[in-house]
Amino acid sequence: MKWTPGADSSNVEDRRGASGGLGGGGFGGGGMGRMGLGGTVILLILSLVFGRNLIGGGGGGAVDPGSTVATTSGGDVPPTSESATEKQHREFMTFVLDDVQRTWTTLLPAAGGPQYRDAKMVLYRGGTSSGCGDATSDVGPFYCPVDHKVYLDLSFLDELSTRFGAKGDFAQAYVLAHELGHHVQSLLGTDARVRQMQESRPDQANALSVRLELQADCYAGVYANQAQNKLDPGDVDEALGAASAVGDDRLQQQATGRVRPDTFTHGTAAQRSNWFKRGYTTGRPDNCDTFAGAI
């Protein structure tokens, strides 16, 4: 992806220098208020499979030697040291954050939606608190509709490549574009309507979650369509590979050696890549209605 290093943004809240780890204030309801990519949700998948909450607190992330200094934006935490790799991750994700949000600022009202309001991106190490409860690196990146923030431990980006085989910078861009797709759903009221349906039809809660996640994948594809002038050859394949890598079927197979479709919350590898492709091919948010018909 063509991008400009050195990006800084008032929409980035850098908590990597915070001490004390997780904050107080738990989230009730078994985590239904947070919506995430599903990238490092092996523990979440195991929790669904075995019917137990296996998600514990996250450990701290080590800082590589030869650190530089990163400034903080939009937060009151002192500057934190970071490795050269982490600095590149931060600058790239900051660039993508602003680029995706500029796209939706124009696209959402043009598609008949409300005025777009920027989300924040919170960077942390190991664990932090969110409006949806404690955030740990165990659950991977996620968007919280309560405080309109995306939470990201930058170490996930390395894991995306090494553990899940989703390589390339646009695989990383897909991660953030997906989470900001959840922000679009929040602005449109889609997630609130889905939550109401889940409460009234608990037997359909997982199926509705899958449709919500696939729509966020489609919205990520819409962004990719709008960003074509920034794409390098192979970037779309990188995003498709990432979407496929975090399919519920693949994650469950990796974690337990078996697949249980009744516990799916994000969609299969094929569904996730197909809906991203639909958004990319059409470039139209109104073609991302995952709630109508078969998926």
pLDDT at 31 (0 to 100): 38
Q: Quick one: average pLDDT of 183-201?
A: 97
Per-residue pLDDT of 164-185, as tens digits, reads 899 999 999 999 999 999 999 9
Question: Do 180 and 104 form a contact (C-beta atoms < 8 A)?
Answer: yes
- Looking at per-residue pLDDT, the higher value among 84 and 6 belongs to 84
pLDDT at 59 (0 to 100): 31
Per-residue pLDDT of 77-130, as tens digits, reads 555 688 999 999 999 999 999 999 999 999 999 999 999 999 999 999 999 999
Helix-strand-coil split of the chain, %, nearest 5: 50, 10, 40
Q: Quick one: average pLDDT of 8-28?
A: 66
> To the nearest whole number, what is the mean pLDDT of the chain?
83
Global pTM? 0.83
pLDDT at 217 (0 to 100): 98
Rounded Cα distance between 271 and 291, Å, is: 14
**Which of 24-28, 64-68, 147-151, 156-160 bottoms out in mean pLDDT, i.e. has the lowest?**
24-28
Rounded Cα distance between 166 and 238, Å, is: 7
pLDDT at 232 (0 to 100): 95
pLDDT at 17 (0 to 100): 87
Q: Is the pLDDT of residue 161 over 50?
A: yes
CA angle 35, 195, 124 (to 5 degrees): 20
Complete edge-to-edge strand list for the sheet that includes strand 12-14: 12-14, 120-123, 149-152, 142-144, 35-36
